[in-house]
Amino acid sequence: MLQPQRHEQGSDLTRAIDALVTAEGAAAHPYVMSRKLVEGRDATRNLADAVHFFGLLHGRHPGLMDHAASRAIIAEERHWIESAITAFTRERAYLSALSSATGPMPSTAGQQQCEQTVLAQGHAIDMLGQSERAGCALGAAIALALDWRAIRSVLDAAAARLDVPARPASLPDLHETVALLDKLSGSQNSERAMLFGAQQLLAQHRGMWDLLATRESVRASA
């Protein structure tokens, strides 16, 4: 999430994005909060599932950040996006290394349907990044960068179990993210578009965690 002092100093847009990620992001999802990903005899398989499916969702190139770059207008926005592109290039490499270390995807009933669902989610995210609605792509990109911190903790848990060296994340600086949001606040149309992009990105992530939770339940009951 954003820095603790944001509530007193940040714009309405900053606080709205922060509240959205806090309430609807990965850290608040029941499956992540359940500890099934990091504890118990099935944790390794559950983590492998998360690695493979987030690899399907965000391991592709071009990704959301790359698409959003073509929509960046002001210098501060371009600088933020360039930082995010560099960061997620490294994250894709990390996902690839983890996917290789986990081996085959855990066998689960309905595998083909699950993969098709994630491919559809990926397409929806691509559409957010290519949206002509000013602010939508950036809102989605910022939500991804913020939510990725919680997702990254799951990936790092997988790395620890698989003895894969954890790679330090270099996500866009939180202070710069706040400054960018504050600078872009004030236009109702732009704020609505940014919030829409953020909401839709987080909805795709929630759908992913729902899918992973269902797969865990199917394997546990087999």
The Cβ of residue 67 has, within 10 Å, a number of other Cβ atoms equal to 19
Residue burial 193-220, b: 16+ Cβ < 10 Å; e: rest:
bbbbbbebbbebbbbbbebbbebbeebe
Q: pLDDT tens-digit profile of 176-210?
A: 999 999 999 888 899 999 999 999 999 999 999 99
Q: pLDDT tens-digit profile of 12-46?
A: 999 999 999 999 999 999 999 999 999 988 999 99
Domain residue spans of the chain: 10-221
* 5: confidence class by pLDDT, cuts 50, 70, 90: very low
Whether domain 10-221 has CATH 1.10.10.60: the reply is: no
Mean of pLDDT over the chain: 93
Please state the pTM of the whole predicted model: 0.94
